[in-house]
Amino acid sequence: MEVTPVLRSEWLKVRTLRSLPGALLALFAATTAFSALAGASASDVSDPGFDPLFTALSGVIPGQIAAVTFGAMAVSSEFHRGGLRLSLAAVPRRGRWFAAKAAVIAVPALLAGLVTAFAALLVGRAALGAAADGLSAGEQVRGVVGCGVYLMLMALFAAGIAALLRSGVATLSLLVPFILVVSFVIGDATGTVADFLPDKAGQLVLRETYDGTLGPWSGLAVTALWSAAALLAGAWRVRRADA
């Protein structure tokens, strides 16, 4: 089968499985709500270390769970009721099928991430008021674009892990505690090593100022390497395991 029909069929799955558009809607709602809350509750605006860009976009931290859920569920849905067997009957070349699956995860995740980041920045800035006036246009553009790319990479990271583990529940059970709890604990305990964790590295693009080994774009590059490694591991499992 040619690439275009494979992409169309995989896009149809994403569009018609209710939980997947619902995850992207949850990404938008949770991120904008938490960004507004963070801006309204900011009390350290006079602190020299205060970062208005990160505060305005900080709703991404809890909101990214929805992006991870989107990526994991888009892949794990294939492992229910013989779905993968049917998919591979139509597309015998497993590598092509998995590449198409990754593409239809990446594009909507990126678009939803960009819209979400822009909305979060607007509500976060509005809640911060004068505290956000110092942000330059370049910093805000970098924050929105970088945020969209970061959310896409986290969705792809989850997709690769889901293909490797062949389970959405196992993937979310691993990644959600890691992102919300373990990453912070490791970061506090190990210092600069945490700069190279997939979430910590990518989130540097959300900051106006940053210290450490990585910068905004090099941090995103580290997250991209994690995502690529997860996708390669997932592709290997898809090629080797029984449908």
| Chain segment 155-210, per-residue pLDDT in tens | 999 999 999 999 989 999 999 998 888 776 776 555 567 788 899 899 999 998 88
How many percent of the chain have pLDDT more than 90? 58
Q: pLDDT band for position 131 (50/70/90)?
A: confident
Structure tokens at 189: 């305990």
Q: pLDDT band for position 113 (50/70/90)?
A: very high
Mean pLDDT, residues 65-85 taken together: 87
| pLDDT at position 13 | 86
Higher pLDDT, 105 or 87: 105
CA pair distance 237, 164, nearest whole angstrom: 5
Q: pLDDT band for position 134 (50/70/90)?
A: confident
Structure tokens at 150: 């970061």
Tell me the average pLDDT of the chain: 88
The separation between the first and the last C-alpha atoms of the chain, rounded to the nearest angstrom, is 19
| pLDDT at position 242 | 63
| pLDDT at position 48 | 67
> What sign does the dihedral 143-145-148-153 (CA atoms) show?
negative
CA pair distance 83, 207, nearest whole angstrom: 41
| pLDDT at position 187 | 60
3-state secondary structure 39-98: HHHCCCCCCCCCCHHHHHHCCHHHHHHHHHHHHHHHHHHHHCCCHHHHHHHHCCCHHHHH
Structure tokens at 194: 């945490």
| pLDDT at position 188 | 56
**Whole-prediction pTM:** 0.92
**Which range among 8-12, 35-39, 214-218 shows the weakest confidence by mean pLDDT?**
8-12
Q: 30: closest CA among 61, 7, 54?
A: 61
For residues 24, 185, 201, 175, the Cα torsion angle rounded to the nearest 10 degrees is: -40
Asked whether the predicted pLDDT for residue 83 surpasses 90, the reply is: no
| pLDDT at position 210 | 81
